Structure 1
Amino acid sequence: MVSTWGDLAQYIREEYEVIDEREDEIRIEFGFDKYDEEDERTQVVVLVREVLDNVHEWVQIASPVGLAAEVDLAALLREVGQASIACGAAIMGEHVVLRHSLPLRDLDVHEFDDPLALLAGTADQIEEMFFGGDNY
């Protein structure tokens, strides 16, 4: 069980491939099981500490899928609405991202790992479907 950002950050460092870390932000490379030697897909996921009402710590899980200017946003949103149970789509900066947030108070690691895996998998599928690649 984790209850603070520090607890979650330590868990992430132990369990995932950290590619960058800053104060209140950790970027990981989420790897998927290989289907064959040529199918080695990964997805960049950004984990950010958020504080609600200056009291409650949350973690935001976000994964970029492509540039907003290069996609039919209505079609992408329809697909996310039909295909996802653990994330929504947003534009952050120039990128379309899929994201989900969880309160850290009394968070069980399974309550973190499962949405993280669902979000990363959905982001990978959306990226392939709408942007034709594996750039993030």
Structure 2
Amino acid sequence: MATWGDLVAYVRASYDVIRDEDDELRVRISYDDRRAQVVVIAREVLDRKEEWVQIATPFARIDQVDLQEVLAEIGNTIVVGGAALMGEHLVLRHSLPLVNLDINEFVDPLELVTGSAELLEEQFTGRDDY
């Protein structure tokens, strides 16, 4: 898989796509405990030449949590991805170059980032908003 189009085709066939735009897909991943997590899969272009895919999923609003406590938890437990502020939301995100991307190099981080965000959301907000 080396192009955005290839990745989009794979995601459409494999996941519950709830929004589909040219450079962005939103996917709902459901869990056995009836919780779900929405993840944004977006095409990014680095230096106007290299295509990357960014996986980002919100897990809390900044005003809902103690930021220092959340960042400490992420630092101690998260293997893939990092925390970022996007507007009023805290997200976990991870980026990968598309060139020569193998499917497991996408699926594994997607599952890790999304699952980790789901756990953080439950731990820090007690809700299932995203």
Mark yes or no: TM-score above 0.5: yes
Amino acid at match of 1:3: A
**Residue 77 of structure 1 aligns with which residue?**
71
Residue 86 of structure 1: how far off its partner (Å): 0.5
Residue 14 of structure 1: how far off its partner (Å): 0.4
Amino acid at match of 1:102: L
Amino acid at match of 1:121: G
In structure 2, runs of 5+ residues without a counterpart are none
Instruction: Identify which of 14, 30, 48 aligns with 1:54.
Output: 48
Q: Secondary structure at the match of 1:106?
A: coil
Provide TM-score, normalisation by structure 1.
0.93
Distance in 1 of aligned mates of 2:41 and 2:75: 22
* Aligned ranges 1:84-123 → 2 under 5 Å: 84-123=78-117
Percent of aligned positions that are identical: 52
Residue 42 of structure 1: how far off its partner (Å): 1.1
Q: Number of aligned pairs?
A: 130
In structure 1, runs of 5+ residues without a counterpart are none
Provide TM-score, normalisation by structure 2.
0.97
Residue 119 of structure 1: how far off its partner (Å): 0.5
CA displacement 1:103-130 (0-9 Å, x = unmatched): 0001000000000000111000000011
**Residue 24 of structure 1 aligns with which residue?**
23
The runs of at least 4 consecutive aligned structure 1 residues that moved more than 2 Å come to none
